[in-house]
Amino acid sequence: MNKTKRIMRWALERKLVLTLLVVLVLQLIQPVVVCADTVTTQSESVKHNDEQPTQETGTSATEESTPEGAENKEQETTVPPALTDNWLAYQQKIVGEEQPQRGEKEWRNFLTLNGYDWVEGELRSRTDSSYRDNLSSLVGVLDTMTSYADPFLRAETVFVDTSYGSSTIGWRQSNGNSELGWYAKRDSGGKLLWCIQPGVPLNWGANAGYAVVNNNQAAYIKSSLVAYWGWETQQSIVNAFYTERLIQEVVTGITTSGIYDYAGKASQAGYDAFKKNTMAKVNQFYVLPSFANQTVELIPGETKTLTDTNGSLSYYKMTTNSANVTVQQTGNTVKLTASPNSKDLGYIQFQYHIDPSYIGASLVYTAPWLQNVLRARAGDPKQTILNIKVKKNADVVVEHRDKYDNRLLQTKTESKAIGSTYSYTPTNPLTIGSETYVPTSLTPVTGVVQTGGNKVVLYYDLQRTLTVSHVDKITNQLIVDKEKVTKRRGEAYRFTPRTDLKKGNTPYRPLTTDPVTGTIGATNLEITFYYELPYATVGLERLEIDTAKADKGLPFRLQVTQEWLYDPTLLGDEELPVRVTLTDRDTKTVVYEQDYALQDLPKTIKGTIPTDFLVKEQRHNYEARIQVGNEEDILVTALQLDTDGYTSSEKELVVAAEEGQVQYKNVVRTARTYGKDMELYYETLNLDVPKLAPQKTGYGFSYTLKPTYTNDLGQTATVGFSLNAPESLLDSFLEYEKKEGKVSVPLEKEGRSYVLPNVWVEKTTGNLFSNAQVETHDPRIKQEVKNGGRKFYVPIWQDLGVYPVEVETTEPIGVHEISVLIEDRLSIEAYMFGTYASSTIQQDEIVLVPIDSKQPFHYQRPNNFTEADLAWFAESK
């Protein structure tokens, strides 16, 4: 009865499915492509995208991916070990070529009617997509038709994630499969799964009925590494697509070609480069570092660098360091450094470096009729070791040897830690038998203990003394203390007279320059060198030349230094000649020469450069030299000394009053001390010049000069000035010097200033008189006189115009005997008494107008006329 019910239920379901199939065939509507077969035109791709069904969540397929970091932590799904063998046998039964033949025609027809084929033991979609929306219902029918349903073992679900993929990527595979559109597969925890059956379809959204089993076959381990390096470490949609292609190739041997992307992101060239780079990293998993399992010997402080020629070390990291050495790993090299704290024996363990979260078993998700997928994980990472041996101690041999014949005198051996430092100081003295040895050096011999060959040799000499004396031949006295030098037996020696011996600043002269040479023997040696000093030293210390007129000669002073180094009485009556010269270096002319005996040489030589070699305003350089007859008897310490010599310029300084100032500066002495720069001493003259202002006739002007003269030698200068004007400007009875149409008015010194002489003005007449004339009661004085001050008065009736006025020095000033001429102009622009016809009536002081005595006032009497004035006026008519 139960069997009959099952048959009836199956028939009813089959009829229902066939009915639905007929409706679908009549509608003849293509399924939406998600992971389609090869499409020949881009327009079809657009059509498929427009018709693509959505998942139950309502999210449509898109190229934008959900960030992988937001995925849920993966849930490990494994098949119980007790079921593994049965399940593998079951898979061999339902998936392989040995499919049950009972009812095969019936379910194959069923697949054909629903748009599928059974090819080489795998389900294939007859549309252009391996993603279908009716596959879940078909699988349920197929399970019923073939009696393969087993809900206990097939409890896992695989999801097609339309939010992480691309509808524009297409490709072909070597098994004939051709698709357009790729999307990720995920487990219930959201982790990526990888298709390992190219072309086998999946349903949109959830695909239930999967069983999970551990699979540690080599192909799946390798595929897991492909997933790690291809996608886990560089996540993107394109890299996920490339990774699935490469995993399928590793698992099945089916290759991918002709990759294209309407969006321009994926390509065959991109995949080829991806494959090359990824497999390069994957293949390193199978290659151990070239120094794996080797033994490295080190000593404390030593560093060795190992390079992995296999290029695998960069994929490993150190996990164990039992040798306690310093490890520096960079790329494919590792640098090892031992220390005193390192262990004698140990090892370093390296482990293939992979993210800990990726370590686990590779799982294969399988289901009849559906695409098998791989959950990639790496199993236990591969490990390798490097053995370490640290040698810590070594012997140090200390030998004491005779340097002369290298004979071993004494030896000692000590054990020290390798890498530690040692220091050995020679024994001083070292007595061997009756002989005493002295070390050639007291400097400790230090070093670092090596693994072998640690030998220290300390050398000694059988000491002998060589004494060198330096003696003054004249006094037979030691110049310096005796020099004692220790030399080893058989050692050659060579000594020469010293050239650095001095008495004060005077060097000794060795009587011979020949060296003394020989070989040290069994006895001590003594060598004596003899020297002499000059009798005296002489030198030029300072040269001074004063400025003077060329016709008087230039005075000079030459200071000389001398020092007797031996008692002068040793000379007896012998004289040591010395010559002093002064040469004009500009003309190469000797202008002074004098011979002396050293005993009579003065400390200061005074002289005058003759006038024959001088002209006005000359500057020449003069060099003093000292010469001796015998340089061995007299040492010249300062041979030559030079300085400049100036003659007076005797210059006339012509200055226009408008310039307002006279300035002059020149050298009055030069000097040079030996070894120093030339010294210059100056005189200066500064004079402010006033400018004459325009004025009227009958008035006077003041004139003041304040010269300033300075001299670095403290000398003074006589200064005098006179004012020179046209003789026509001289008024009345003033008795000034007249010459060549000019009158010369001497300026008088008043304090530091030079001013015009004081004058007196006679009342009524306006006549001018000097102080002397007033004091002597000059008979020409008729009226009372009034002090007119220090002024120069212009005559009342002088013609208008511009008159030249000069002020000049009355005698040369200073060492350079300069004279000054100041040129000015006196402009007389108006009259004191003008007439109505005057051209300057507006500027004239008083205007004279003729008056008719009969009618003096045409209009009215002036306001300032008094009754007395009127009376006088009436009387004067």
For the chain, how long is the longest CA-to-CA vector? 191
Q: How confident is the model at residue 855 (pLDDT cuts 50, 70, 90)?
A: low
The answer, yes or no, to whether residue 867 has pLDDT greater than 50, is yes
Terminal Cα distance for the chain, rounded: 190
Same domain, 164 and 81: yes
Same domain, 22 and 77: no
The answer, yes or no, to whether residue 57 has pLDDT greater than 50, is no
Same domain, 99 and 43: yes
Same domain, 616 and 736: no
Residue 248 DSSP SS3: helix
Q: Which amino acid is at 648?
A: S
- Average pLDDT of the residues in 593-611: 94
Same domain, 55 and 90: yes
Same domain, 640 and 757: no
- Average pLDDT of the residues in 836-850: 82
Query: How many helices, marked H, and strands, marked E, lie in the chain?
Result: 10, 61
Burial of residue 756, with CB atoms counted within 10 A of its CB: 0-12 exposed, 13-18 middle, 19 or more buried: buried
Asked if the structure places residue 15 within a domain, the reply is yes
Asked if 580 contacts 593 with a C-beta cutoff of 8 angstroms, the reply is: yes
Q: Return the number of other C-beta atoms located less than 10 Å from residue 513's C-beta.
A: 10
Asked if the structure places residue 319 within a domain, the reply is no
* Residue at which a domain ends, from 284, 302, 325: 284
- Give dist(CA 875, CA 857) in Å, integer: 16
- Give dist(CA 440, CA 418) in Å, integer: 28
- Average pLDDT of the residues in 261-276: 96
- Give dist(CA 808, CA 813) in Å, integer: 11
Residue 334 token pair: 């590792």
How far is residue 836 CA from its own chain's centroid?
90
DSSP assigned state of 598: G
Beta bridge mates, 493: 518
Asked if the structure places residue 386 within a domain, the reply is no
How many residues are present in the chain? 877
Asked if the structure places residue 765 within a domain, the reply is yes
Burial of residue 802, with CB atoms counted within 10 A of its CB: 0-12 exposed, 13-18 middle, 19 or more buried: exposed
- Give dist(CA 109, CA 115) in Å, integer: 10
- Give dist(CA 216, CA 193) in Å, integer: 16
Peptide bond before 67: cis, by omega within 30 degrees of 0? no
Same domain, 14 and 103: no
Greatest mean pLDDT range, 148-162, 168-182, 562-576: 168-182
Phi and psi at residue 634, in whole multiples of 5°? -125, 125
- Give dist(CA 338, CA 292) in Å, integer: 19
Q: Among residues 140, 127, 157, 161, which one has the least CA distance to residue 54?
A: 161
- Average pLDDT of the residues in 45-66: 34
Q: For 670-684, write each residue's pLDDT tens digit.
A: 999 999 999 999 999
- Average pLDDT of the residues in 517-522: 87
pLDDT value of residue 77: 34
Asked if 438 contacts 403 with a C-beta cutoff of 8 angstroms, the reply is: no
- Give dist(CA 665, CA 683) in Å, integer: 6
Asked if 295 contacts 270 with a C-beta cutoff of 8 angstroms, the reply is: no
Same domain, 89 and 138: yes
pLDDT value of residue 129: 62
Asked if 576 contacts 535 with a C-beta cutoff of 8 angstroms, the reply is: yes
pTM for this predicted structure: 0.47
Q: For 424-471, write each residue's pLDDT tens digit.
A: 999 999 988 878 888 989 999 999 888 888 999 999 988 888 999 999
Q: Higher model confidence: residue 112 or residue 297?
A: 297
- Average pLDDT of the residues in 16-43: 36
- Give dist(CA 576, CA 474) in Å, integer: 18
Asked if 384 contacts 347 with a C-beta cutoff of 8 angstroms, the reply is: no
pLDDT value of residue 3: 39
Q: For 69-92, write each residue's pLDDT tens digit.
A: 333 333 333 333 333 343 344 344
* Residue at which a domain ends, from 233, 256, 284: 284
- Give dist(CA 79, CA 87) in Å, integer: 9
Same domain, 827 and 767: yes
The answer, yes or no, to whether residue 708 has pLDDT greater than 90, is yes
Residue 272 DSSP SS3: helix
Asked if the structure places residue 605 within a domain, the reply is yes
Number of domains in the chain: 4
Q: Which amino acid is at 152?
A: F
- Give dist(CA 601, CA 581) in Å, integer: 13
Residue 167 token pair: 């509808």
Asked if 567 contacts 533 with a C-beta cutoff of 8 angstroms, the reply is: no
Same domain, 153 and 231: yes
Q: For 190-201, write each residue's pLDDT tens digit.
A: 999 999 989 888
Q: How confident is the model at residue 759 (pLDDT cuts 50, 70, 90)?
A: very high
- Average pLDDT of the residues in 543-571: 93
Residue 426 token pair: 């020679």
- Average pLDDT of the residues in 393-419: 90
Per-position b or e across 466-499, b if 16+ CB within 10 A of its CB: bebebbbeeeeeebeeeeeeebbbeeebebebbe
Place of tokens 């030691």: 478
How far is residue 260 CA from its own chain's centroid?
54
Same domain, 158 and 248: yes
Sort strands 634-638 and 536-546 into parallel, antiparallel or unpaired. parallel
- Domain with 11, as residue range(s), is 1-30
Beta bridge mates, 502: 507
- Give dist(CA 405, CA 411) in Å, integer: 16
Q: Any idea which of 120-134, 711-725, 762-776 has the lowest mean pLDDT?
A: 120-134
Beta bridge mates, 463: 488
Q: How confident is the model at residue 821 (pLDDT cuts 50, 70, 90)?
A: very high
Contacts of residue 371, Cβ cutoff 8 Å, sequence gap at least 6: 130, 158, 185, 195, 197, 200, 201, 202, 207
Q: Among residues 782, 748, 746, which one has the least CA distance to residue 767?
A: 782
- Give dist(CA 142, CA 130) in Å, integer: 18
Residue 623 token pair: 């060099």
CATH number at residue 557: 2.60.40.150
- Give dist(CA 137, CA 117) in Å, integer: 16
Same domain, 18 and 42: no
Q: Where are the beta strands (DSSP E) in 85-234?
A: 116-119, 122-125, 131-132, 156-173, 178-186, 192-195, 202-203, 206-214
Q: Any idea which of 22-31, 313-322, 667-676 has the lowest mean pLDDT?
A: 22-31
Q: For 163-213, write each residue's pLDDT tens digit.
A: 999 999 999 999 988 999 999 999 998 999 999 989 888 888 899 888 888
Q: Any idea which of 15-19, 106-110, 414-418, 466-470 has the lowest mean pLDDT?
A: 15-19
Asked if the structure places residue 653 within a domain, the reply is no
Q: What angle do CA 582, 588, 594 make, to 5 degrees?
A: 25
CATH number at residue 705: 2.60.40
Asked if the structure places residue 144 within a domain, the reply is yes
Q: Return the number of other C-beta atoms located less than 10 Å from residue 261's C-beta.
A: 19
- Give dist(CA 801, CA 830) in Å, integer: 9
Q: Among residues 736, 721, 717, 752, which one has the least CA distance to residue 822?
A: 721
Q: Any idea which of 486-495, 551-560, 800-809 has the lowest mean pLDDT?
A: 486-495
